Copies of this chain bind each other. A is one copy, B any other.
Amino acid sequence: MELIKNQSISVDCVVFGYDTLTKSLNLLLINRYLESEDKNEVLVDDYVLTGYHIYEHETLDDAATRVLKELTGLTNTYKKQFKAFGDPNRLRGEKDLEWIKSENFNFRTVTVAYYFLIKTEDVDLKNTKHEAKWFPITSLPKLGFDHEKIILEAYEDLKIKCLAEPIIFELLPDKFTINEVQEVYESILNIEIDNRNFRRKLIHKKYIIPLDEKKVGVSKKPSQLYMFSKDVYDKVYQKNYLINI
C-alpha cells in the first residue's frame, strides 16, 4: 500500500521507562541538532519526543505503535492516548523555526499524544537510528516545540492512572519484589510510603502471587519474588462507586 502522509496530523510518543536498578522514572527523548551551513554555529541542540505524521490508511493507535516500534523495537507495550494538542503556535518557538526551515512540514500540525510504559532494560539504545537517550523525569533537558507541556500532561495523567489501575506492573519485570513495587510508586508520585503498610496491602491482593523463588545477588537477604496476574485481577476487580469529592 502506498504511504501517503497526512500533513496536518501527527502522533507524539511520551515513552516512560522505569529503571529498577537506579530506581528512577525516565523519559526517552531524541536529540534535535542543527548547525549553520558553514558549521560555525550550532543553531539547534535540544531534545524532543519521538513522533511522526500519520498515514492516510492507518488508525491513530497504529501510528503511535509504529512510531514506538521504530524507536525502540518494542510492540505489545502499554499505550494510552491521553490528549490532542492543537495550538496554532505550538511549533513556532525560535528554535522550532530554525528546525522547520531544514525539515519540511506544516506549521499547523495537530498532534495526538500517547504515552507508553516500558522497562528501560528492554530498550537497546545502540540499535536506535535516532540519537535517543533516557532522562530522569526529575531532570529533563531543554525541550523543543511544545513537548515539555505534552510531557507534563502525560505525567499528570500517569500519576492519576497509576493510583486507580494496576499499570505499575508494566514498568517492572515479570518477577518483582514488594519493595520494587513500592519504589516505582515512590518514583512516580514523588512521595514516601510506609513499607509495612504497603507490604501488607499488596500481599493481601489475590492477584499478587508469591513465587517459589527468591531474588539473590543484589541484596543481602534474598527477597521473595512475586508476579502480577492480570487474569485474577480481572476476575477479582469490581467497580465501586465511591464518591470522593
Contact = CB atoms under 8 A, between A and B. Distances in A.
Contacts of A56: 88, 108
Most buried by B among A110, A241, A243: A243
Given A108-B6, A112-B110, A60 B86 contact: yes
A74 to B, nearest CB: 22
Number of copies: 2
B84 A59 contact: no
B165 A241 contact: no
25 contacts: A6-B8, A6-B108, A9-B9, A9-B110, A54-B86, A54-B110, A56-B88, A56-B108, A57-B88, A58-B88, A59-B87, A60-B85, A60-B110, A81-B84, A84-B112, A86-B112, A110-B110, A162-B243, A163-B243, A163-B244, A164-B244, A164-B245, A185-B243, A189-B241, A201-B243
The size bracket of the interface on A is 35 or more
Most buried by B among A112, A165, A205: A112
Contacts of A59: 86-88
A166 B243 CA distance: 10
B241 A163 contact: yes
Interface string A100-114: 000000001010100
A15 to B, nearest CB: 19
Interface in A186-245: 189, 191, 201, 205, 241-245
A83 interface: yes
A160 to B, nearest CB: 8
Interface string A160-181: 0011111010000000000000
Interface string A67-96: 000000000000001011111100000000
A56 to B, nearest CB: 6
